[in-house]
Amino acid sequence: MAPAATYRRRAFRLVLAVAICVAPTLANAPTVLALPAGSQNVAYVYDFGFGSPGSKSCTVNAGGVGINDLNPPGCGASIFRNAVTGGAIGAGNTGTYGGVNFTNLTVATVDANPDPATAFNGFDSVMLYMVCDIHSHAKLITALNDFLNAGGKVMIFDGDRCAASAGGIADYTGFLFPFQTNSPGPVGAPAGKYTSIDASSLTTGLPLYVDSASPEEDAMADANIFTSPFGWCKSIAGANLTGTTGLVEAYATTVGGGLAIYEGEDYWFTWNDIFGINPHYKQVFDLVLHQKWNPDGLPCVHPASGITLLPMTSTHFVGESQVLTANVFDVNNNPKPGIIVSLSITGGPEMGQVFTPQATDPSGNATFTLTNTGGAGTDVAIASFVDINGMTHMSKPASVIFNPRPTALTVNPATSDFNDPGTVSAVLVDTSTSMPLASKTIVFTMGAETCLGTTDASGLASCPITPSEAAGTYALKASFAGDINHVASTGSNNFVVTLEETTLTYTGPIIIPNGSASTLSALLQEDGVTPIGGSRPGQRWHGSELPRTHRRKWLCQLCHPHRQPAAGPGDGVGRLCRRRVLPPVVGQSLHYAVRVPCQRFVRDRQRQLHPRHHRQLLGCSVGEAQQPQRWPGAQELQGLRRLHEHASRLSGGLEHRPRQQLGST
């Protein structure tokens, strides 16, 4: 901006030229184009007006505030009056321009909001007009950052007022996209120009502007030029009157799709009050106002602002791996190569696992392999990178689920004699790989018996079970309880209990005196070792098994094989016999009658007995206990020696059912 004397001098020099010029012939005349849809509801943020520090051209307040401030350039706070329309766009605190609604919002109002995140609720865009003391308004900076991160649009017009000679050099420290500028202030001389323009929707139709072209202006001479465009993309580069070159218009985007646009040309102390509306200001302003965003479609190689991590959910068995792919992109979803990406596991069995950071490839991808070593569970992975502004961007969490492996337990059939140990076994495998599982505990159960086995390298587990159940077929069950890596499983098969091998040894006397009482006994043992109590084997009668009678006495009959007097006791066929009631089982000894071979006697005509050498097996008959009959004395029995000889053969006549012949002592 030039002082008043300079204005007057240039006014006389150029008034004729202005009168005869037509827009199409102007060197700086813009091309009229249809503007894209952009901002619709704008919060107009300012903190100065009539009488503010740096005011240079007004001594009487013309009235109005903000967008409707009627004070002239160099004094008023309206960008419309100073550079765009030459007047107000509404009344009070609201107005409309180009179909876009504007509402005044002072810096003090933003500072008074207890929640900066809600300061711009109801607006899709924010326009900061020459807020040169922004560094002293922390809440405003926080509100702007929150708004951008939420996807809003912020337009910063930081021109000639923000200089040491006027409102002070703006300090954007703490802003999402901080910057520093060279700021000559409102000097006023046609000494600046554009040096290059990047073609985009933000510069559509703009010529390579020069201040000195007709009509003369100081838009670039007094412009604030970026000296540290950290994180910003070029739109327009130029030079101000100090000779400083750099970005005069730039933009930056956030991961949430927010768009910040910086415009540093002289939009405050302009020459509009002398020459009318300069079409250059209006065209630049309109392009900024109507620039769309999220996406913005701008061609700049935007800084990386977004990251994803895929797949979002995946499922595996324990011990397996998952490849996770992080993709880094800009606001227009263009891939960003060469970005260093880190991966962290924030939860699950692999929590805390460290991965080597990876640089993204030309497609913006960086891959990481997550291998499960901590057992079953869900790992939560997050990828991140640090952008050029030093901000960390993180992906949404990805879940990698590691399930226990399924198992199968195959039980082998088993058998053993009663009370003899038998080996039971089963094979455990991982059904997802068909591989055996080693060092796993298997529990076997058969009836009342249980044993534990541990699988070997082939998955085989075995252990002994000694059945206490009677002979028969029983269910043999096996179970694997599972662990952090494997699912539980069960299996079953048959266990056949067979009859135990037994031995029965005669332990009674082998010489039986005639006419005397004699106790016959035998010892029943399991496998010839362990005595068996509470059992009684059956007997034979002419080769047939007789039924057992428990808790009863045994009636036993012995017949003498020799000739006896006809009047002697017999069994009706000429045999001399004697009966005896034997006692029941006592302890572990069993009492039995014996089988003896004998001769049959017949009578001749003189009624004399004659032996007929006919051998047959006689022995005990089983029945109810009977009273012994009265028998003749021992003197009536002859041939005692021979009877003893027959008795000595007892060991070959004892039997035990159901399995073995009896032994002898």
Superfamily of domain 407-498: Immunoglobulins (2.60.40.10)
pLDDT of residue 449 exceeding 90, the answer is yes
Average pLDDT over the chain reads 78
- Quote the pLDDT of residue 608: 59
DSSP letters for 181-213: EE---S---S--EEEEE--STTSTT----BTTS
- Quote the pLDDT of residue 147: 96
Contact 304, 346 (CB under 8 A): no
- Quote the pLDDT of residue 194: 97
Segment 591-608 mean pLDDT: 46
Return the CATH number of the domain spanning residue range 306-402.
2.60.40.10
pLDDT of residue 58 exceeding 70, the answer is yes
Both structure tokens of 6: 């300079």
Q: What phi and psi values does residue 628 have, to the nearest 5 degrees?
A: -60, 140
Place of tokens 């838009």: 219
> Distance between CA atoms of 42 and 176, rounded to whole angstroms?
20
pLDDT of residue 488 exceeding 80, the answer is yes
Q: Which of 268, 243, 262, 157 is nearest to 192 (CA)?
A: 243
- Quote the pLDDT of residue 539: 35
DSSP letters for 494-534: EEEEEPPPEEEEE-S-S---TTS-----EEEEETTTEE--S
Bin 123: left if φ > 0, else alpha if -120 < ψ < 50, else beta: beta
Read off the amino acid at residue 91: A
Beta bridge partners of 106: 46
CA distances from 31 to 147, 200, 289, 454 (A): 33, 14, 17, 87
Domain positions in the chain: 4-31+38-48+111-289, 306-402, 407-498, 502-664
Q: Which of 257, 256, 252 is nearest to 233 (CA)?
A: 252
Contact 157, 127 (CB under 8 A): yes
Select the highest-mean-pLDDT range: 304-308, 384-388, 395-399. Answer: 395-399
Find the Cα–Cα–Cα–Cα dihedral 84, 86, 92, 96, rounded to 10°: -40
Architecture of the structural domain at 4-31+38-48+111-289:
3-Layer(aba) Sandwich (3.40)
pLDDT tens, residue by residue, 407-430: 999 999 999 999 899 999 999 999
Segment 81-104 mean pLDDT: 95
Fold: same for 4-31+38-48+111-289 and 407-498: no
pLDDT of residue 283 exceeding 90, the answer is yes
Lowest mean pLDDT among 216-225, 368-377, 540-549: 540-549
Q: Which of 181, 329, 293 is nearest to 244 (CA)?
A: 181
Contact 647, 596 (CB under 8 A): yes
Say how far residue 643 (Cα) sits from the centre of its chain. 92
pLDDT of residue 113 exceeding 70, the answer is yes
pLDDT tens, residue by residue, 339-396: 999 999 999 999 998 899 999 999 999 999 999 999 999 999 999 999 876 778 999 9
Contact 480, 491 (CB under 8 A): no
Reported as a pLDDT band with limits 50, 70 and 90, residue 561 is: very low
Segment 226-244 mean pLDDT: 89
> Distance between CA atoms of 328 and 307, rounded to whole angstroms?
4
> Distance between CA atoms of 71 and 273, rounded to whole angstroms?
10
- Quote the pLDDT of residue 651: 31
Place of tokens 């400083």: 244
More confident residue, 407 or 515: 407
Q: Which of 280, 275, 222, 269 is nearest to 76 (CA)?
A: 269
Segment 628-657 mean pLDDT: 33
pTM tops 0.85, yes or no? no
- Quote the pLDDT of residue 508: 79
Percent of the chain scored above 90 by pLDDT? 57
Segment 87-110 mean pLDDT: 97
Q: Which of 219, 190, 221, 223 is nearest to 206 (CA)?
A: 219
